[in-house]
Amino acid sequence: MDTLDVKGLSCPIPVIRTKKMLDKGCQELQVTGTGNVARENVSKFASSQGFIVKLVNDSPDEWNIIISK
Amino acid sequence: MDREKMLMIVTGVIIGGLAVLLVAMGNPGNMGYCIACFLRDTAGGLGFHRAAIVQYVRPELIGLVLGAFIAAVSSREFKSRGGSSTFVRFLLGIFMMLGALIFLGCPLRDILRIGGGDLNAVVGLAGLIVGILWGIFFLKRGFNLGAARAEETTQAGGYLFILGVIGLLVLLISGFSFNPAGGGPLFFSTTGPGSQHAPLWIALGAGLLVGVLSQKARLCLTGGFRDFFLIGNKGMLIAYAAILITVVTLNLYLGKFNLGFANQPIAHTNHIFNFLGLFLVGQCGVLLGGCPLRQIILGSEGDMDAAATVMGMLAGAAIAHNFMLAATTKGTTSISQIALITGIVIVSIIGWAYREVDA
């Protein structure tokens, strides 16, 4: 599984980074980030592209989601 | 209808409705809300510039901050963080303000101006959209001001912005003056746009409500276009449409809709610089990750970089008026035109310099 760290990055860079990974053909991706807005935006984007989004950790300091086909 | 769409519509309708109400209660024409104008008036109220007609600490701004703060704390989204090229963001805040003061409004006022029939604002909107596309050009090439770091042991940094704003509110309500003989601060305009305002408590309340809604909806007047062009997300465009439809409807009902270019309230008819003014705002808004309103909301959620951007906008207002760079209703001067074009060049160089080649 590929991993991507978008902690602390401004909008919309977490989504752009995720998009780049998915465009490269990545089938399963774990994204780690901070803040609800980035989590919502990355999740919404991946769902809109037909991926399954699973939130595996949502602590106050960081979140992890797994994006898969 | 899903919850997100509903939130966008409700936010847009309430902002549009309150904007028209604030004008009816005393705010300048088509200026129910204008983050740039209000920061400029606040800079004047603090004596940071000497343009006597635009000096008033706008309660709407104080309300926005406190409303967004309350919303962020109640949803556990308040988090003190910072350290993402703070000085660059401060500079971008200065340039974003310069662009807004040459157009005479932030992107939110642009929609309100269109809603009042001001066609100069349609030219401005075109500039905003092209500026956003120019900002996206840099984003696509890996533009990144770097990651912010969460403060692990304290939330103190995030509270400083809120405390500063509460201090302003205390000064405004108490009427305390540091220099009674010389006047001010706070300074209060006796003529011009700074003297036109809704009653304090109504303006404060309208700010609070919009602060809460904007925080919940993540409202951003550049982000909606940016996300539409970048990833085809239309969500926030619904809020823009709701603001516009509400304002047009209410202005038509009240007989305040005046279609045309000439004789519009606090506006000029220089098409090139209306376009380029909001072009620079759009470009800065994309590089900063949000429009002037969004920077205020982020600053109220503990984002110290956004708070620094707001301070940059305050400084930008002072620079724009002290150096005679801001436009007036008569139009722009050659020095303001040179400053604006220089601003676009400098912000573009920043956009190019901060790209991560391997991103």
Per-residue pLDDT of chain B (359 residues; tens, 9 = 90+): 688 999 999 999 999 999 999 999 999 999 999 999 999 999 999 999 999 999 999 999 999 999 999 999 999 999 999 999 999 999 999 999 999 999 999 999 999 999 999 999 999 999 999 999 999 999 999 999 999 999 989 999 999 999 999 999 999 999 888 888 877 889 999 999 999 999 999 999 999 999 999 999 999 999 999 999 999 999 999 999 999 999 999 999 999 999 999 999 999 999 999 999 999 999 999 999 999 999 999 999 999 999 999 999 999 999 999 999 999 999 999 999 999 999 999 999 999 999 987 64
* Size of the A and B interface in Cβ pairs below 8 Å: 58
B85 — phi, psi (to 5°)? 45, 55
**Domains of chain A by start residue, with CATH:** 2-68 (3.30.110.40)
pLDDT beneath 70, residues of chain A: none
- B42, B55 Cβ separation under 8 angstroms: no
Q: What is the rounded CA–CA span in Å between residue B90 and residue B96?
A: 10
Q: Chain-centre distance of CA B286, in angstroms?
A: 14
Burial of B182 (0-12, 13-18, 19+ CB in 10 A): exposed
DSSP bridge pairs for A33: A63
Count CA atoms closer than 13 A to B140's CA, side-chain side: 11
Q: Cα-atom radius of gyration of chain A, to the nearest Å?
A: 10
A11 catalytic? Reply is yes
What sections of A1-69 are H helices per DSSP? 13-23, 36-48
- pLDDT at residue B176, as a whole number: 85
- B74, B219 Cβ separation under 8 angstroms: no
- B210, B15 Cβ separation under 8 angstroms: yes
The amino acid at residue B357 is: V
Residues 6+ apart with CB under 8 A from B103: B110, B124, B127, B273, B274, B277, B278, B281, B327
| Catalytic-labelled residue, pool A1, A8, A11, A52 | A11
The residue count for chain A: 69
User: Using the beta-carbon criterion (under 8 Å), do B84 and A8 form an inter-chain contact?
Assistant: yes
- B278, B103 Cβ separation under 8 angstroms: yes
Closest CB to B290 among A9, A11, A40? A11
Largest CA-CA distance found in chain B, in angstroms, rounded: 60
Give the closest residue to B286 by CA, choosing from A45, A34, A19, A10.
Answer: A10
A59: nearest CA in chain B? Answer: B76
- B41, B57 Cβ separation under 8 angstroms: yes
Touching check for A32 and chain B: CB below 8 Å? no
- pLDDT at residue B358, as a whole number: 60
Q: What is the rounded CA–CA span in Å between residue B274 and residue B327?
A: 10
- pLDDT at residue B359, as a whole number: 47
User: Using the beta-carbon criterion (under 8 Å), do B289 and A8 form an inter-chain contact?
Assistant: no
Touching check for A63 and chain B: CB below 8 Å? no
CA distance A8 to chain B (A): 4
